[in-house]
Amino acid sequence: MKVLVTGGAGFIGSHIVDRLVQEGHDVVVVDNLSSGKRRNLNRAARFYKTDIQSWRLERVFRNERPNVVLHLAAQMDVRKSVEDPLFDAQVNVLGTLNILQQTVKHGVRKVVFSSSGGAIYGEQDVFPAPESHATMPLSPYGLSKLCGEQYLSYYERVGGVQVVNLRYANVYGPRQDPEGEAGVVAIFIQKLLNNEQPVINGNGRQTRDFVFVEDVVEANLAVMGQETAGTYNVGTGVETSVNDLFRILVQHTGSTCKELHGPAKKGEQARSVIDATKLRHELSWEPKMSLSDGLKRTVEYFKQRMG
């Protein structure tokens, strides 16, 4: 199958590309390298350095004629979206719209959209949140992802393209960028390994659902290969507080840093955890990596990179 991956040089996208290549698919990557890294690119994939908002995207679709598009390219920093909602919407709404226009024009069969379970639901009424939970985003990022889902639904109705929205929990793992993204795991690990003091926002009792990147890869492959459409949560259903996360990372890094708390961040969710029962039942997907093992593997990766 010919698969086009937008954001294929990024943290999650590059892991998906590696796995698709391994499975024998013909893979095309579109990435503007604004946050993706050239070193993450798989040599077996054809690479186009192109922005998803660009008119040049048409040429990629015309040349390559993909069967499936996995759309991961995004402005993914919640805080940046609050500071600059316009930029966030340009990338996440207009960029997605550009992708969708090309998919319909060039007869793409299916689009799998990387959405956000954490940001779309906002402050939850139910824990863990199922896909039917009300969507009340607290950030422009969450709004832009929800808007992307709505556009996909529109194109499914009028353009006949099959659409899957994958709402991710807090994804972590090797290749996560401690600088560019709001990835608390990567930020804490880098600081702990450098013997710098990480600062926990607020009281640290805010919880997140941490899902390992390889489990997210499996979810993408599961929905890509089946005649399935709709919206699926991709998470573990387990809440972990930032304080507990910090303690596990201190153990795995052997750091002597103590817990230090700073002011709470404005607009940060108190609790976020999602229910992936639907994906489990319909496609037999199961998160395989325990948090402790996943964090251990991530620490090893950072040690190698820094070594």
Residues with a known catalytic role: 141
Cα 245 from Cα 243, distance rounded (Å): 5
Residue 106 identity? H
Burial of 67 (0-12, 13-18, 19+ CB in 10 A): middle
The token pair that represents 232 in the structure block: 């699926």
Number of CB atoms found within 10 A of residue 196's CB: 11
Number of CB atoms found within 10 A of residue 24's CB: 8
Residue 144 identity? S
Residue 213 · residue 12 · CB < 8 Å? yes
Burial of 240 (0-12, 13-18, 19+ CB in 10 A): middle
First CA to last CA across the chain, in angstroms? 38
259: which DSSP letter? Answer: P
Q: What is the dihedral of CA 44, 49, 50, 51, to 10 degrees?
A: 110
Strands 240-241 and 170-172: unpaired
Helix%, strand%, coil% for the chain, nearest 5:
45, 20, 40
